[in-house]
């Protein structure tokens, strides 16, 4: 894995010099700013040694006067475990860490900034967020689709807001980047901080995103059920469809965690259905050998089989995927009927259950730390930045690097090799 950017591009944009003594100054470390190397474990003469990310921490001096700060928090896009945890962490860090008393939640994503929708602001404080982490979803609501960037910045100006926290995926972070550019063009002093949210774990230059561990944990429960169903009948097949529009990390990781899966189909790895090296033949061989099989498919896999069908675009600008789960369910039954082999198929699609559950303990801690670091970055006047984790270290990544590429499984990398070793399936079904 080589960086596709320069050391210059890792620099964090600042609104100005931080001159105000932080309320946390007595707890600040003495010494130079730390950075985490992009390749911390490789011999330095083999890579560009100065490519690194700024480590996230609270600073002795901050840019904003806490008594004059008004902060806004917005959640955008699809649901993901941990959204409420991040909101709560930001509110508590602002209130208890810096004494910021004016914190508002924006209802229903970026719509909440646009007057025509009529959404009211929600005042956020330790009391209003006291137990939201025990609930799934987002207390602020969410929405998809573009909104006029100029009107969003107009709303920030009207409310005299200094800090904007955007919790969202690549589309939301793209919008955050455009908002920051408009803020800069107007000469305003508003810090824009992102907390990357994607259940698919597909944002680049981020080791993993919040909610992913919870999603995998929930996905394994569906795999357990599919395995029980498949084992209970002669030639039983358990088929589970999991989330993963362009990246199959949930499917691959859940399969490796549970080890009851015999086939994993993901968007990154091409496969054919028919033929001597096709998926159906491999599935038939498995049934002849063991009398049962469990198949996990990511929602974005096999979309080439729908090329003759019309496809629309969702409000976020993404192609609307065809249902590969139902397609495989039908095609598998048709194949074995032609082969005059009786099979019992059980189909499970837990997608909306997975994304709407509360975060587990591990994700809860992760979300809390991300929210706290987002506040530290914003109060120090850092902008157009996302808080991330890289090689186990919390750090700052420019938004531009987070949205540059989509992170995917390398079909010839360790991730996919581990899947092959745990399932026994062909590495490339059509190769």
The verdict on 142 and 228 lying in the same domain is: no
The predicted pLDDT at position 30 comes to 55
Catalytic residue among 59, 170, 200, 349: 200
The verdict on 219 and 345 lying in the same domain is: yes
The verdict on 236 and 371 lying in the same domain is: no
The verdict on 222 and 107 lying in the same domain is: no
Question: Which phi and psi (to 5°) does residue 227 adopt?
Answer: -65, -40
The predicted pLDDT at position 26 comes to 83
Q: Is residue 1 part of a domain?
A: no
Task: Report CA 275 to chain centroid distance, whole Å.
Answer: 36
The verdict on 45 and 138 lying in the same domain is: yes
Q: Is residue 240 part of a domain?
A: yes
Distance CA 249, CA 81 (A): 16
The verdict on 198 and 72 lying in the same domain is: yes
pLDDT along the chain (431 residues), means of 10: 83 96 82 75 59 92 97 95 98 97 97 95 97 96 92 97 96 96 97 95 90 96 97 97 95 95 96 94 96 97 87 70 96 97 97 93 96 98 96 94 92 93 80 50
Is residue 349 part of the annotated active site? The answer reads: no
Distance CA 39, CA 30 (A): 26
Contacts with 165 (C-beta within 8 Å, 6 or more apart), sequence order: 71, 72, 73, 74, 90, 193, 194, 195, 374, 378
The verdict on 282 and 378 lying in the same domain is: no
Which strands sit side by side in the sheet containing 344-348, from one edge to the other? 263-265, 292-298, 236-242, 344-348
Contacts with 326 (C-beta within 8 Å, 6 or more apart), sequence order: 347
Contacts with 394 (C-beta within 8 Å, 6 or more apart), sequence order: 55, 56, 369, 370, 373, 387, 388
Count of domains for the chain: 2
Q: Is residue 376 part of a domain?
A: yes
Q: Is residue 243 part of a domain?
A: yes
**CATH number, residue 42:** 3.40.50.450
CB-based contact 63:14 (threshold 8 Å): yes
* Joined tokens for residue 428: 């490339």
Query: Strands 191-196, 385-390: parallel, antiparallel or unpaired by DSSP?
Result: parallel
The verdict on 119 and 166 lying in the same domain is: yes
Task: Report CA 117 to chain centroid distance, whole Å.
Answer: 27
Q: Is 418 exposed, middle or buried (0-12, 13-18, 19+ CB in 10 A)?
A: middle
pTM of the model as a whole: 0.93
Q: Is residue 96 part of a domain?
A: yes
Q: Is residue 2 part of a domain?
A: no
Q: Is residue 431 part of a domain?
A: no
The verdict on 240 and 126 lying in the same domain is: no
Q: Find the helix packing angle between 324-338 and 279-290, rounded to 10°.
A: 60
The verdict on 42 and 167 lying in the same domain is: yes
The predicted pLDDT at position 32 comes to 54
CB-based contact 218:353 (threshold 8 Å): yes
**CATH number, residue 239:** 3.40.50.460
Q: Is residue 430 part of a domain?
A: no
How would you classify residue 91: left for phi > 0, otherwise alpha for psi between -120 and 50, otherwise beta?
A: alpha
Distance CA 381, CA 394 (A): 18
The verdict on 167 and 291 lying in the same domain is: no
The verdict on 170 and 297 lying in the same domain is: no
The predicted pLDDT at position 308 comes to 77
Query: What's the domain range around 346?
Result: 212-356+411-423
First-to-final CA distance of the chain: 24
CB-based contact 77:174 (threshold 8 Å): no
């Amino acid at each position: 894995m080589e960086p596709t950017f320069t050391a210059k591009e890792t620099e964090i944009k600042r609104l100005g010099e931080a001159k105000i003594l932080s309320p946390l100054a007595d707890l600040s470390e003495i010494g130079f700013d730390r950075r985490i190397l992009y390749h911390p474990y490789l011999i330095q003469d083999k890579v560009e040694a100065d490519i690194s990310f700024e480590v996230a921490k609270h600073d002795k001096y901050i840019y904003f006067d806490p008594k004059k700060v008004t902060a806004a928090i917005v959640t955008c896009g699809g649901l993901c475990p941990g959204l409420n945890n991040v909101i709560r962490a930001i509110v508590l860090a602002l209130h208890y860490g810096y004494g910021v008393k004016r914190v508002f939640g924006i209802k229903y994503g970026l719509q909440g900034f646009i007057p025509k929708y009529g959404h009211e602001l929600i005042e956020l404080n330790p009391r209003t967020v006291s137990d939201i982490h025990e609930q799934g979803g987002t207390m602020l609501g969410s929405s998809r689709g573009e909104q006029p960037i100029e009107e969003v910045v107009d709303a920030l100006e009207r409310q005299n807001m200094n800090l904007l926290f955007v919790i969202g995926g690549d589309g939301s972070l793209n919008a955050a980047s455009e908002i920051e550019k408009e803020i800069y063009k107007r000469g305003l002093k508003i810090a824009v901080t992102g907390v990357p949210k994607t259940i698919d774990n597909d944002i680049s230059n981020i080791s993993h995103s919040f909610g992913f561990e919870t999603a995998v944990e929930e996905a394994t429960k569906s795999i357990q059920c599919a395995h029980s169903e498949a084992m209970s009948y002669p030639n039983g097949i358990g088929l589970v469809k999991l989330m993963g529009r362009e990246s199959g990390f949930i499917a691959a990781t859940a399969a490796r965690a549970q080890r009851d899966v015999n086939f994993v189909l993901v968007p990154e790895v091409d496969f054919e259905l028919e033929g001597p090296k096709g998926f159906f033949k491999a599935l038939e061989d498995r049934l002849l050998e063991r009398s049962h099989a469990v198949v996990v498919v990511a929602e974005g896999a096999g979309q080439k089989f729908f090329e003759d069908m019309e496809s629309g675009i969702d409000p976020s600008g993404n192609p609307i995927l065809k249902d590969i789960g139902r397609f495989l369910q039908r095609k598998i039954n048709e194949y074995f009927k032609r082969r005059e082999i009786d099979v019992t198929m059980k189909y499970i699609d837990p997608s909306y259950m997975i994304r709407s559950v509360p975060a587990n303990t591990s994700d809860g801690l992760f979300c809390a730390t991300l929210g706290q670091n987002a506040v530290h970055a914003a109060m120090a006047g850092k902008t157009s930045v996302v808080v991330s984790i890289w090689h186990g270290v919390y750090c700052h990544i420019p938004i531009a690097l987070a949205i540059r590429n989509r992170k995917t499984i390398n079909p010839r990398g360790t991730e996919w090799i581990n899947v092959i070793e745990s399932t026994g399936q062909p590495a490339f079904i059509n190769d």
